[in-house]
Every structure is written in C-alpha cells, then in structure tokens.
Structure 1
Amino acid sequence: MLWRRWGPYVSERSWGTVREDYSPNGAAWDFLSHDAARSKAYRWGEDGMAAICDRYQLLVFGLALWNGKDPILKERVFGLTPSEGNHGEDVKDYYFYLDSTPTHSYMKYLYKYPQARYPFEWLLDENRRRGGQGFEFELLDTGIFEENRYFDVFVEYGKASAEDMCVRIEAINRGPDSAPLHILPQLWFRNIWGWSDRRGATPVISDGPTAEGTISLLADDAKAERLKNLPFDYELGKRYLYAQADGKALFTDNETNAQRLFGIPSAYRYFKDAFHSAVVNGEQDAVNPNRSGTKACLHYEYLVPAGGSVVLRLRLTPEMLNSPLEDVDKIINQRRAEADEFYAVIHPPKATEDEKRVQRQAFAGLLWSKQIYLFDVNEWFDGDNPKYPPPGSRQLIRNKHWRHLNSMRVLSMPDKWEYPWFAAWDLAFHTVPFALIDPEFAKEQLFLMLFEQFQHPSGQIPAYEWEFSDLNPPVHAWAVWRVYNMDKTRAGKGDREFLEKCFHKLLINFAWWVNKVDSAGNNVFEGGFLGLDNITVIDRSEKLPGGAVLEQSDATGWMGMFCLNLMRIALELAKENKAYESLALKFFEHYIYIGAAMKNMGGRKYSLWDEDDGFFYDVLRFPDGSFNKFRVRSLVGIVPLYAAETLKLDDIETFQEFKTNFLWFVKNRKQLTDSCCHYIERKRQYELTIVDEGQMRRMLIRLLGSEEFLSNYGVRSLSKYHGEHPFVFGNSEVHYDPAESNNKIKGGNSNWRGPIWFPTTFLIIESLRTLGAGYGDDFKLAIPGDPRGEQNLLEIAGEIANRMISIFTRGADGRRPVYGGTAKFQEDPYWKDLILFYEFYHGDNGAGLGASHQTGWSALVAALIEDWRR
C-alpha cells in the first residue's frame, strides 16, 4: 500500500461541483465558475492538470502553462455546461491519459496546448447560439490547431521509491515557427486551516536547499493543522521539490481573493491566483517577497524552436539529495520498461497490436481517474463556521437523508472533469477491468459502497453526488460476484472474506429494494429512472399524479438478476458454511416469484410481457385498475435477459438442503416455475431465465435486427424502429435519436434514445455467454446479414463483443469509428493513436459522444479484449 500513497488523486474540476456549492438554490454550476476557480480556495478538494497528491491530499503537485497570449494561466481544463448550450457538461480541451501502473510507479499524461489565444468566448457564444441542437462546437472547430501550432506537453512520473517521485516534462513545438512557452510546476497545500471560527495553524513552503545545478522548494507541515476526520495522526513531514536551476521560485498562499470575487477586503495579503497576476498581468507585488507561503511555483520561460522541444526535470522527495536530478531520466526509463513488462503479461495472446494499444490506454484512463473524494455531508449541511451558516434552503435541496456519508477515500470516478464524483453503478462496472490489473483495489472499491460511511442505514447504496437518494440499477451484487471469480481464476483461490462481508451488506441492500420499490407487494418493481434518464416517455424520477404507478420491466428485470447473483454468492459461501444454503434457496424462490410476476401479474388483465410484440414493456397503472402499456422497444425490455443462470444438478449435489428444497419447489410450484426455470433433461440442468425458449427467440430476433437494436458497433439503447414510428403518449413522444437527444427529461445528459452504452451492452454479452454455455448448440439464431448463418448464443455474444471493440480499433480504411469524421484524430500522426473513451456512442456509426474522458465504464472494452482474445 505504501507505493499507492502518492498518485493522480486530484480532480480536474472542483469548480461547479455540489461540494463546493454554497448557493441557496443548489445551482452548483452557477455558484462557482471556471473564471472564479483560480481565485477561490476550495473547501473539499483541489483540482489541477496532470496533478498528483498524497493519500489524503495534504500536498498537491500540478502543472500550469502559459503561451504568452492566453488571458489566464492554464492551471485547469475548461468546459461548458448545458445552460451554456452544450448537450451536457463537456470539457473543451484535449488531454490524454497515456499510461499508468496500478501502483502509479509510472504514469504518462499528454496535454495539447494551443499557441494562439484560447477562444473561451467563441466556444461559449457559438454553443449558446446552437442551443444544444446539432453538433457541439469544439475546440478543433475553431481552427486553433491548424498548421500544428500547438505544444504537445508530456508529463511523466516515475517513482524512485514509494515516497520519491521523479518528474519529466517535455514540451514539443509541433508548429512551423518558434513559440514562447511558460512552464510553471506548482506545489501547494490543500487549505484545511481556514474553515472554522478559529483559524488553524498553516503549513509552509519556502526556499529549499540548493544542490548541484538545482533549485528547490521545501514543504513542511510539522506545525500545521491536523486532519480531524481520521482515527490516527497523519502528517507528511518535509518534502523537497528539486528542479533545474534556470527557473524562478514564486510564493503565495492558498487563500481566496475576496476582493476580486466578492468586492470585499480580505484579511490576507497573498492569494491563490497570485501566479496568474504576476506572470500574465505582470503584477509582481502579487507574490510574497518574503518567499514563503502555502502555495509555490517554479517559473520557467522558454522560446521553443519549430519542431523542437524543451525538457524540464523535477523530483519530489522526502530526502535531502546531493544530485537529485542526475538519475531522473534513468528512473523514469526503468519504470516505463517495467510498465511495458507488466502489460505484456496482461494483454491476451490473441489481441492485435492495435487492440493492445486500446486496452492499455483504457487501463491508463481508469488509473488516472482515481480521486480522493473528500466530503462530510453532515459538516456540509451545518457549515464550517457558525458565524457564517449556510442558507437554510440548503436543508431542502438535496441529500438531507445522507448526513452519515463521510468520505476521505480514494475512489474510482467516471472521469475527473464532467463527473468528479463517484456514481455507484458506474463504479461497479469500473471494477471489472480494474480486476484485471489490480484486483485488491477492485474489491476495496466494491466494499466501500457497502461501508457504513457510505451505505445508508436503510440499506440503500448512494447513487451520486447530485442526489444520493436517486436509484441506480442494483448491479453491485453482479460486480461483486464477477470480480470475485476473476480474482479466484487468477489467484487460484477465492477471497472468501471479501465475498462474505459484501454478501452481508448486500442482504440489507436487497431488503431495502424490496421494501422501497415493490409498492403493491406483487414482485413487480417501480424503481424510478434507474440510470436510463430519458429512455421512456415520462420522467421516471418524478412522482406520478393521481396515485399512478409505473411498473417497470427494467426494474423488475434488474431485481431478477439481483436474486440470481445473491443465490450464486450464497451457494459459493455454502461450500464452507452450510447455513448459507437456506439463503441460496430464498433467493432462488424470490427470483421465481419475480419472473412469474413479470408475465402473470397476479392474474390481472395485463403483464409486462407483451405476447403480440414478443417484448417487455413498462405499464402505467392507475388506482382504478386501468392501465396504459408503453410500447417503446428499448433497453427497458431487454434488461429481463440479464437474469440468466444455469444450475447443473451435479454441481448442487453437495448442497443437500438446497437441492432437496429446490427440487420440491420446482415440482410443487409448477405454475410459477414453468415460466422461468427450464429443465434440459439431456444435460441434467436447469436454465433460469425469465423468458422461455420461444419468448427468448422472439426477443433476440429483435435484439439482433439491424433495423431494431443491433448496429455495427453494439446494441442501441432504443430500437431504430422508432425512427419511423415514434411512440406518442399525450403531448410527449419517444423518437429514435442515435446521437445526443433533443429531449432532456432528466437534465443535460439524457441520451438513452438510440446511442450505444457500454455497461448495458456488456451485460447483454454476459447474459448471452451464460445462456450460450448452458444451451450450447441446442439454441441457435442467425444475425441478419451475417453470412455465417445460424450461430449459438456464445458465438453471438462474441460477435457483439467484436463490434464493441471495433469502436476503438482501426478498420480496413485505417479509421477509428470512435472519432467519426474528425480528420485530425483520423489522419494526423500526432493524434490518431490517442484514444478517448467516451460516455456513449452513436447508434449508427459508433462515434464517441458525451463526456470525452468517461473512461470508467467504457474501459469495459479492456475486459472485452481480455474475454474474447485470451
């Protein structure tokens, strides 16, 4: 764990987040802007470019740049919000996570920095003019990269030891003319001293010792305020930042510039934005002439020749060294070589070189997107200083039932710009590719969501920062079971302690789901939006008028899957403790009740299954017994396929209590089990599927139809059928939109009406693998247009996986579908092998859409490469 003490645990955006929102109306984006961010000290965590910090983010090192033309220092990446005309929150810079090992012994990052003035106003004005319609206006569209007039700024880290970090920054001028570049490596302490009535003692950064050919900074927290939320005393001790001697040290304090932001005098003299004022505006009195403070930088100024580069070497270490920079290159080269050796073992043998490149960058994105998540909800509600309490309206806006949530954990984020906060179902999917490279971290992440300081006493798992009480799909049990088996396969032995402690907490979570979202007690679930935003015709997050209830195929399907996951975990635990057999039986029977209810609904006039269409639909039920079936063919109706398991009689032979009662239930409750527990006598096994073979075939014919769900790049979230046949309900309609949707039922990221999403398609592939292993060649289908004819379900799963992988790899035409028609990414030698992992993908052409650095669940492509190239 010592080697993980330092890592890239710094957000790329703390401005505009819920934690930093002190507004009376909860409009976080409007309260703290990008423009204000350079002047406002953060309360709950720092942000920066290519930044690293210690485990509890006392000390941060990050990169700042200036091209001599920008109106501000480039200290953090820039982006827009839905209210500014974007489809969603979206970064408007180009940066890439190129490499990292699980311990962060080696890391590599690239930022493409334009040499012309950054067009902040143009990006904002043009996107506002477009109003969220059509394509967004991106930085490449401004022409700022024409003639390659930009710098490729590479940042490499290599650890000489767990606490000793070597840094190499190389800026390459890709343009035709010499160009100025200022490089400002920054070192600062997070402000933990300024938030209470009694101001705490501060750490200090000052000039450090000189060594051969170097200057240095000394950061010392010996006399500083201590972290109050830990059960032990935590301090860093002295840290030396050594650097080349041709730079100049500048000092200030990590304090808010109240005069600039609020027009009021400040009690302090030097502020967070001092380096901007000194370097960009020439205000030399902005920095501390006494050469000390809580924030410092080393200022280097270069004229970089056309096609040439400058290299800056630094070292952040707890040791006083005589020749600190002498072996920086050697150490970084050694760690890079070790990273190459590590991934050479990780890559599956049948992967192409391009697939290996994609897989490695997917891993890099996951690893760079780890972040220290600092948030004490109780303190956030009460306020830091009793003299300045937060507005009373804060108690009513969000998260009022989550005062117990208190985090000082390093968590896996969907990304660190658009989503610099955890999302529970995203995180569950992250752990699958993580388990390939760092199974201990994957297991830790899964348990953290079940830990007392996260999981609600009621059993609910927190959804995401904007509203912890929202409902994400119950995928946690699936992820626990998946990661456990991946770890077991590699280690040769399962981590029973991990599985058992997660299982106990998942039992509470299951009980919460049953009590919360099965309002009628008939095993048909409501559940709300469940992460699928605008997939249906009404907002599923809102309470419906007149006592109406939306009975959801996806919520009910997810719960069927949840039951089977818990059944499997219980059987695994029963190998050493027979007491778990009864729990396995309980979840099998609950699965049966759910599966039967989806097609029977207690003998009422309707069910979620539609026999005429051969598909599952949501049903809007009114108090008087009337109903309206939402005939929208979407992922909502495919989710029931996720509930799939095979029970071989030979495998349960040792579980006598389970087997005896299982067989009794199958025999004596045939009216329930016949529809979702199917015996294959020749194989002496039961297929547990909510649909029978006939129903499954009808669903899969739709799933595999190119004019319905299956595109060349994966499974669409909404059938293409609705392009010509929109579903209309009242004044609303659902229409097929393969890219960003014009309908924003739930915020600015409502894009479930056609695009391909990695997590949902990954689960389809998982289910088909399970069913394919169970049915074998007894169940075959043809994919329309595929010359291979009929294939079994395992082969079909592989075909869908190949289509998902092909989003990122170069096709026969040399182009990567993920970049659509963007010529720079398709043709330029300095761009075409840089992979971005987007939030979702165009339903027809596979182009990346939404958040451009949503590595999180799109990193599942690394797991697909492992599964289908091993």
Structure 2
Amino acid sequence: MQHHGPMNSPLPPGEPLGAEHARLLDSPSHDAPWRLWGPYLSGRQWGTVREDYSAEGNAWSEFPFDQAVSRAYRWGEDGLGGISDRFGFLNFSVALWNGKDPILKERLFGLTNEEGNHGEDAKEYWWALDGTPTHSWMQWLYRYPQAEFPYEQLRRENRERTRDEREFELGDTGILDANEFFDVTMTYAKAGPDDMCIRVSATNHGPAAAPLHALPTVWLRNTWSWGVDDRVTELREIRRNGRPPRGYRAAEVTHGFLGRYVLAASGAPTALFCDNETNARHVFGDAALANHSLYPKDSINQRVVHGRRHAVNPGGYGSKCSFWYHWDSVAPGETVTVDLRLATGDPGLEWFGEPFEEVLGARRGEADEFYGHVIDASLDDADRHVARRAYAGLLWGKQLYRYDVRQWMVGDPVGPAVAESRKHGRNEHWKHLALADVISMPDEWEYPWFAAWDLAFHTIPLAHVDPEFAKEQLLLMCREWAMAPNGQLPAYEWEFGDVNPPVHAWAAWHVYRIDGYRDREFLTRVFTKLLLNFAWWVNRKDANGSNLFEGGFLGMDNIGLFNRSAPLPPGFRLEQSDATSWMAFYCQQMLKIALELARTDKAWDDVATKFLEHFLSIAQAMRHFGSSDKSLWHEEDGFYYDVLVQPDGRAPHMRVRSMVGLLPILGATEIPSWVVEECPDVTSRFQWLQERRPELVKPLLARDDGKMLLTLVPPKRLRRILERMFDSEEFLSPYGIRSLSAATRQAVTATLGGETVSIEYEPGESRTGMFGGNSNWRGPVWFPTNVLLADKLRTYGRYFGDDFRIEIPTGSGDWRTLDQAADVIDGGLTALFRPVDGRRPSDGKRIESSADPLWSEHPTFSEFFDGDTGEGLGATHQTGWTALVAHLLNPRLPPDPRTMGWA
C-alpha cells in the first residue's frame, strides 16, 4: 500500500502505510464496513431536548438522571465507555456495582443546570485513553469509587454554594483520598469489521481488598414502543442441549437490519435478561399504571442490587442482557479481567485465549504505528502523550445523534397527547431537520448534542487522523435535512435558530489544505451550499443594508453587557463589532475558496469577484456607517467596540474591551500573485473599482513583489489593537489571550431602557446565570478564538515580514515579529498541558493536579481556562475544540506544494 496523500505531517511519496491507514483508504464513506461499529453510544441521553416531551420545555426535569435506570429512551441510548452500530440498534456497555451503591453504575452522573452552582456539571472521573479512526482499537477508563457513591452529597453541596464559590467535585468528598477506587478499562479490538474483541479489566488501587460486580451488557434500542415500528427483537441465551456451553456464556440476536450477532462472555457468568421497557409504575409513582413488560428496564438492577431473583426473565430472553461477574474480594493492586466477543459468527472457545490475545496485540501495535505517522517524531514524550489523548478524545466523541424534529413535535402514535405549546415553541421552524448520523460532539456528557460552530473546529484536528470523516461532518451541516431552506445552519438542539459565528468556510479550507489540496469535489460541494448560508447572513443579519451586522448570540455567551440575543427596546439597534468582523472573515474565506476553484473552472471567477466587492463594502462600513462621523473604531482608545444606535440617532460606543474588539484582526487574507493572470474577472473588476471607487479599495495592500493582502484593519490600527492584546494588564495571559480585558476588574456599567447593566473581569467560572451559567466569556482563555487570532497573525506576518514588530508584553522592550507573536499565543495554549514542577497548569487545584501518576498521566481537556491561572473550567471532556492542542503541537503543514501561492 502506497501513500496517497498527507495526514498531518505529509509523508514522503511512496512511503508504505500501516494497516490502519490502509483501512482508512478502504473506508472513505460513513457506510464502509469498518465504520459500522464505533463509540457511537452517547455518554448522556437523559436531560436532552430530544427526550423532553413536557409542555414547559424543561429538558432537565422532564427526564432526570434518577429516571434513566427505569425509563426507556425515545431517541437514543447511553452507557459507560460503550459502543453501538452506527444506527444505534444494538448497544454494548458495562454496568458496575461496588456492593454499596443504591443503583448499578450504568451511566455517568452529573448535576442538572438547576442543581449546579455553575450549571450542569459531570461529577465523575473518566478518560478516553486511545483510539484509531476506524475504531479498530479503542480504550476508555472509568474511575469507580469503592465507597458508596455520594449522589445526594454532591447535589446538596453544590446546591448550597453560590456562583462565587468553587464547584464541589467528587474528589472533594474525600472518598478517593486513599486511592479507594477501581480503575475500570474498556478495551476494544476489531478482528474484522463485524467482529469485536472486548476486554473489561478492573484494578483495585486501594489499600484493602474490596468486592466488585461487573455486568457487561448488550441491549437493543427501543424502537417498538412508540407506534412507528412494531417489530420487537429479542436477545436469547444460547444453550446446547438445554445447558450453557462450556467455558463461556452467550446471547444471540437476529435483527431485521443488522442480521445475526452473538455476544459471548468468557468463563461462567450468570446471564440476566429483561426488556428495554419503561417501569411506568416506578417512574411515575402510580401503581395503577400497567407496565408493558413483566421485566422492565431496571430489572437487572433489582436483581443485583436488591437481590430480587424473580425480577429477571427466567426464560433467558429479552431486549437487554447482562453477564454478571462477581468478585467477593479483589486484593490491593490486583486486576480482574473479563473477555467478551461481539461477532456475527458461531461462538466457541476458539473465540478466546490465544486468538483473542493476538487480535489485541496486533491492533495495539497498529495504533502505535498509525500515530507514529500522524504525530511528528520531533515531539517529546509529554507532548506526544497529550496529542494522542486529544485525538482519542475526538474519536470517542463521535456519537450517534438521532432527532426528527417534526416527529418530535407532533408526538408518537403511541403516547400521551402533545401539549399545544410544543407546536409553537422550541425549534418550531426546524421541522425539516431529521438527523440519524454519527456526529462529533463538543463533550460526551455536558454537550451530548452537536453545536455547529464547535463542530467546525473539531474538523481541524480530525483531519489529521481521518480527513474523510472531517469532510463528511462539514457537509452534513449543509445537507437538506440539517440546513434550513433559507440557508441557516442549525446551531444546537436547545435552539437550532440561534446564530453562531460563520466558521464553516474557514474549517473547510483548512481541512482541504490538511488533506493535501486534492479533494476539489469536497471543496466545491461545501462551497456551493455555503453560498446559501452566506446569503442568509446578508439577508437576515444586516438589518438596514449598511454592511454592519447584528448577529446576536454569536457563540460567546455572556461576553456583552447584556444578552445580545434578546430584543432591544424599540428604536434601538446594536451594531456588533464581532458580527461584522465574523462576516468579513466569512467573506474572505469564501473569496479564497472561489479563487482556488477558479484556477480550474473559470465559472467561479465572477463569484470570487462578488466576495471581493462584498468584503470591501464591509470594510468601508467598519470605517464609517450612517453619517460620516460614526464608526466602530474608537480612535482615543485604539479599539473596536459595539455601537448602540439609539432612536434619536446618537450612536455611543459600548466601551467594553473584549474579544469582540479583537476579532477585526480575523479580516486578513493573502491574495496570491497568480490571481492577476488566472482570474481575469476579479482583476478587471478591481481595476474598475480603483478608477471609479478608490475609497473602496483601501483594504487591499500590495507590495512591489506582487504580494497582496486584503485586510479589515489598516496597519496603524493593527498596531494599536495589538498593543492592547499583548498587554499583560489587559488581554495577554501566560496561557493565551483572555476573552475580556483584565482592565475590566473595575466593572463597566451602562443604562439601557431604564435598566442598569454591568460587566467585569471574571477570569474563572461565571458569576452570572446568563445562558445557563455553565460557560464564561468574561475573562477566561478559549481555544477556538485564540487559534483563529494566531492563524491571522501569521497571515499578516507573511505580508509585512520581519520589519513589522510589536512589543510583547507591551512595555517590556521585547520586540517580536508577527509570526513570533502568533507563537506566543500558541505557546500559551500548549503550556496549559505542559507540566511545571510536575503539574499541568490546566489541572489547577483539582484532584487531577496530584503528583500521583494515577492522576497525573491523564490530561483533562477542559472547555475553557482561567484567564489568570490557566486552570481548566467548564466541561471536562471538550475534545471538542480543545483538541486543537494536537493541531498546535504538531508542526504546521508547508505551503501549497503546487504554486507556493497559499499558506
């Protein structure tokens, strides 16, 4: 097998690829056999909008954690480090019991938005250890306490804390202090596309022997209880002459779509069967309700935890099956292991033993070989470890997402009547959306639903390991069953109509680049659909045709003085610096793609012209809009601000220095010299503008050697913005660029419609409940915006060269090039994961900062980071966009090898 194109650091032509690369080349599409099975089982299905059928639309209270053990899901399933087929018909996971908990540990626990002092929050410890893109090899670790899990203590302590206090975590309870826990590792190795070797191993790290129950579980998603599919499929225990086979236990299922599968479990565990049906009497507290099954979903829990022998089906069949292993005493340091195999063939002892070990060994070796190509050999062991864990988190974050909004809104044929309020509430304008796809999630527990702008950033590191999947994700958001007919991209299930930053084109370009500038079909497909999205932005978010934009939410939840998604008082209009900057950025990315496509298809030449002219109009509006004295630029402060246009025509600046005012930097794109000859329409139109509208062409800078730069920010303004950005008293932290200037430690206040609003620097967790209170853009460092800023500084640096230098930090006397300035940002981000005196800054004061290798070997990929200390905050498995650290750690790709025209 020969190398057919680059992954991250491109391999020399002709270098042979390993087995995993070969599988990838044979699996270009989502329906390839090697992609049928993967970690597609969600980390959390309860508390999601999909499962919310309430009139009030409160997803957290409609389907809480406590009901998940007994209530069947409508749209998906969840579990601990589990797998499923890509349609979610058949699922596998493990349940655990320490002999003390009130319920089996079948899923991760966390607080709802109302229970946490900073919104929803997982209260467990788990890590994605490893994985390959075809899921031929995967490992996942869960840390299970030996003491009774403190469900109520975690709820109570966090409920009693204010937003000014730290969150109360599982590690704060003290039950893990003496390492009194089991590390439970799930290992998956595919012997073939539909043959999975599974190992569940548990190590006692505590000082004393402890009991453990492990229940590897296979079950069918309930598709039959809703009146849309009456086919009921069952798992049945395999017996020989009425007896279980010698040396293993097994259950088989013949599914109408998947065909026949067998799960075989080594040894002699007890096979327990029940049905994936709701225990209505228990869930809804009404003894008069009839259960559809004598053995509902929680029956195995009843059998193991409460000892009720008659709770499970004695006939050995049902839609849910667990193999029950029990160790009365696992010694300190001892590891107990269970081997299973999920496959289509006939089971036998030959499924285990040496053949099983050979598969595990081969796949582990192939994973090492694969990452030997993907991760540059020049990285030290610590950086390689972080990068590989980041890729593992990304790959484990691939989850099946099923949601048909129309079906959800009208309700099911079988079930309670749908409240009228639901038909005119959440997502009422998104009835076309019908997804049943494997999608990269922001965080497997806190955000087990896609978010369009997060997803765009995911595709950059994903393209290092699986460019086809990265491209598929970008195209999926543009398909007819996702994108709205008017061109809007869906935001996230809580409100698909919210507006997120338009970063799709930027991501598509970078994926195209990482993949070797070779897949023009992909680039054409995504560009064509994004033309619709661009038109939506122009038609809906430019209220008065001024080329200034009022984007609203725009991803950065609480960054403004007030909720920018909420309606303003009559007669007021907010001209947003970031919305306008995002559109200029979007326009430039579309221009870049159009120029690239025009090199081989001149039909795109005049499309490129359209984006050039549109950008020039936006740039002019940024300088002056309305009457000639109004501008988003504040000359005295040397910064861009939002402007609040009032009914009397006054337009004061909202003088809050935040990421909003840094984003104009994103409006910078190189124009290669070949454009003059290869894109005649662009060239002639620009010449016409130079002659007839010279005021418009100011943003295009040109050097004597033919290099050109299209920029929203003139060089003098760029210097002034960067003085602020690299001032350690304002934006520059040791770990990147803060989202709000630290100079705002003294609150900024304003009056709007008779109401006084304020904002102040909050480097850590949010102290307000705006947008749920579980994220914070008022000071912390965020990966996505930092990566974009560094990317654009390099663009400026390639044009201005080494003569353009800035002081970093401001006032230090240390002058650096713009490329070096970008390195400062990237270096700050990577420093979050590089130990200082044995501890990573991102681990902060949490238990993960322990010097004990049991904790220190596991980096946490947090959602955002404290603007002063670097401590990771928010969601704890945001790989996700924090996996961009792998993109930063690996050396950058060289320029376009064909022409050196793009960078």
Q: For this structure pair, what is the TM-score category when the shorter chain's length is used for normalisation?
A: over 0.9
SS in structure 1 of the partner of residue 689 of structure 2? helix
| Equivalent of 1:746 in 753, 757, 771 | 771
Per-residue deviation, 1:560: 0.2
Q: How does 1:350-389 map to 2 (within 5 A)?
A: 350-385=378-413, 388-389=416-417
Q: Distance in 2 between matches of 1:622 and 1:425?
A: 31
Contact map agreement 2:275 2:297 (CA 8 A) in 1: yes
In 2 relative to 1, CA 147–470 (structure 1 residues): closer, same or farther, beyond 3 Å?
same
Instruction: State yes or no: 1:258 paired with 2:258.
Output: no
| Equivalent of 2:543 in 512, 519, 523 | 519
Contact map agreement 1:743 1:750 (CA 8 A) in 2: no
In 2 relative to 1, CA 410–788 (structure 1 residues): closer, same or farther, beyond 3 Å?
farther
Q: Distance in 2 between matches of 1:794 and 1:528?
A: 32
Q: Distance in 1 between matches of 2:223 and 2:188?
A: 27
| Equivalent of 2:878 in 846, 854, 867 | 854
Aligned length: 851
- Name the aligned partner's letter for residue 756 of structure 1: V
TM-score (norm 1): 0.96
1:670-702 superposed Cα distances (whole Å, 9 cap, x missing partner)? 21222x22223x332222111111000000110
Per-residue deviation, 1:268: 1.9
Instruction: State yes or no: 1:864 paired with 2:864.
Output: no
Q: Distance in 2 between matches of 1:743 and 1:867?
A: 39
SS in structure 2 of the partner of residue 525 of structure 1? coil
Partner of residue 409, structure 1: 437
Partner of residue 423, structure 1: 451
- Name the aligned partner's letter for residue 252 of structure 2: L
Per-residue deviation, 1:823: 4.9
Q: How does 1:44-83 map to 2 (within 5 A)?
A: 44-83=75-114
Q: Distance in 2 between matches of 1:371 and 1:800?
A: 31
Contact map agreement 1:208 1:240 (CA 8 A) in 2: no
In 2 relative to 1, CA 407–625 (structure 1 residues): closer, same or farther, beyond 3 Å?
same
Per-residue deviation, 1:844: 0.7
Contact map agreement 2:203 2:335 (CA 8 A) in 1: yes
Partner of residue 821, structure 1: 845
Partner of residue 819, structure 2: 794
Partner of residue 632, structure 1: 656
| Equivalent of 2:679 in 645, 655, 659 | 655
Partner of residue 580, structure 1: 604
Instruction: State yes or no: 1:139 paired with 2:188.
Output: no
Per-residue deviation, 1:392: 1.1
1:293-337 superposed Cα distances (whole Å, 9 cap, x missing partner)? 010000000121111110111110101143111222221121011
- Name the aligned partner's letter for residue 789 of structure 2: I
In 2 relative to 1, CA 143–195 (structure 1 residues): closer, same or farther, beyond 3 Å?
same
- What 5-or-longer segments of structure 1 have no aligned partner? 223-234
Contact map agreement 1:211 1:321 (CA 8 A) in 2: no
Partner of residue 488, structure 2: 460
| Equivalent of 1:598 in 597, 622, 630 | 622
Q: Distance in 2 between matches of 1:198 and 1:46?
A: 17
Instruction: State yes or no: 1:723 paired with 2:745.
Output: yes
In 2 relative to 1, CA 179–798 (structure 1 residues): closer, same or farther, beyond 3 Å?
same
Instruction: State yes or no: 1:325 paired with 2:352.
Output: yes
Q: Distance in 1 between matches of 2:468 and 2:893?
A: 24
Q: Distance in 1 between matches of 2:476 and 2:178?
A: 48
Higher mean alpha-carbon deviation, 725-734 vs 783-792, is at: 783-792
- Name the aligned partner's letter for residue 150 of structure 1: F
Contact map agreement 2:726 2:810 (CA 8 A) in 1: no
Higher mean alpha-carbon deviation, 39-48 vs 784-793, is at: 784-793
SS in structure 2 of the partner of residue 49 of structure 1? coil
Partner of residue 768, structure 1: 793
SS in structure 2 of the partner of residue 256 of structure 1? coil
Partner of residue 399, structure 1: 427
| Equivalent of 1:313 in 324, 334, 339 | 339
SS in structure 1 of the partner of residue 99 of structure 2? coil
Q: Distance in 2 between matches of 1:111 and 1:625?
A: 59
Per-residue deviation, 1:773: 1.3
| Equivalent of 1:688 in 710, 721, 724 | 710
- Name the aligned partner's letter for residue 123 of structure 1: L
Per-residue deviation, 1:786: 9.6
Q: Distance in 1 between matches of 2:76 and 2:690?
A: 55
Instruction: State yes or no: 1:43 paired with 2:74.
Output: yes
Higher mean alpha-carbon deviation, 235-244 vs 191-200, is at: 191-200
Partner of residue 619, structure 1: 643
Q: Distance in 2 between matches of 1:593 and 1:354?
A: 48
| Equivalent of 2:321 in 296, 305, 314 | 296
Partner of residue 735, structure 2: 713
Q: Distance in 2 between matches of 1:725 and 1:49?
A: 44
Partner of residue 732, structure 1: 757
Q: Distance in 1 between matches of 2:296 and 2:876?
A: 32
- Name the aligned partner's letter for residue 33 of structure 1: P
Contact map agreement 2:847 2:855 (CA 8 A) in 1: no
Q: Distance in 2 between matches of 1:76 and 1:855?
A: 20
Per-residue deviation, 1:155: 0.9
1:746-804 superposed Cα distances (whole Å, 9 cap, x missing partner)? 22234000000100111001111111111111311120279782111111111210110
Identity %, equivalent residues: 48
Contact map agreement 1:768 1:797 (CA 8 A) in 2: yes
In 2 relative to 1, CA 575–665 (structure 1 residues): closer, same or farther, beyond 3 Å?
same
Per-residue deviation, 1:243: 1.1
Contact map agreement 2:225 2:414 (CA 8 A) in 1: no
Instruction: State yes or no: 1:221 paired with 2:255.
Output: yes
In 2 relative to 1, CA 387–847 (structure 1 residues): closer, same or farther, beyond 3 Å?
closer
Partner of residue 439, structure 1: 467
Contact map agreement 2:60 2:113 (CA 8 A) in 1: no
Contact map agreement 1:63 1:75 (CA 8 A) in 2: yes
- Name the aligned partner's letter for residue 452 of structure 1: E
Per-residue deviation, 1:651: 4.5
Contact map agreement 1:424 1:463 (CA 8 A) in 2: yes
Per-residue deviation, 1:745: 2.4
RMSD between superposed Cα atoms in Å: 1.6
Instruction: State yes or no: 1:498 paired with 2:522.
Output: yes
1:798-856 superposed Cα distances (whole Å, 9 cap, x missing partner)? 12101100101212x12101101235533111110101111100001111000111110
SS in structure 2 of the partner of residue 107 of structure 1? strand
Partner of residue 469, structure 1: 497
Partner of residue 230, structure 1: none
| Equivalent of 1:347 in 372, 375, 384 | 375
Q: Distance in 2 between matches of 1:668 and 1:211?
A: 87
Contact map agreement 2:226 2:414 (CA 8 A) in 1: no
Contact map agreement 2:235 2:321 (CA 8 A) in 1: no
SS in structure 1 of the partner of residue 856 of structure 2? coil
Partner of residue 9, structure 1: 40
SS in structure 1 of the partner of residue 799 of structure 2? helix
- Name the aligned partner's letter for residue 48 of structure 1: G
- Name the aligned partner's letter for residue 404 of structure 2: D
Q: Distance in 2 between matches of 1:667 and 1:101?
A: 56
Q: Distance in 1 between matches of 2:557 and 2:762?
A: 14
Higher mean alpha-carbon deviation, 374-383 vs 778-787, is at: 778-787
Contact map agreement 1:85 1:131 (CA 8 A) in 2: no
SS in structure 2 of the partner of residue 670 of structure 1? coil
SS in structure 1 of the partner of residue 368 of structure 2? helix
Contact map agreement 1:211 1:324 (CA 8 A) in 2: no
In 2 relative to 1, CA 198–351 (structure 1 residues): closer, same or farther, beyond 3 Å?
closer
Higher mean alpha-carbon deviation, 787-796 vs 370-379, is at: 787-796
Contact map agreement 2:129 2:140 (CA 8 A) in 1: yes
Per-residue deviation, 1:549: 1.1
Instruction: State yes or no: 1:115 paired with 2:146.
Output: yes
Q: How does 1:167-246 map to 2 (within 5 A)?
A: 167-196=198-227, 199-207=230-238, 213-222=247-256, 235-246=257-268
Instruction: State yes or no: 1:99 paired with 2:130.
Output: yes
In 2 relative to 1, CA 212–788 (structure 1 residues): closer, same or farther, beyond 3 Å?
farther
Higher mean alpha-carbon deviation, 650-659 vs 303-312, is at: 650-659
Per-residue deviation, 1:652: 3.5
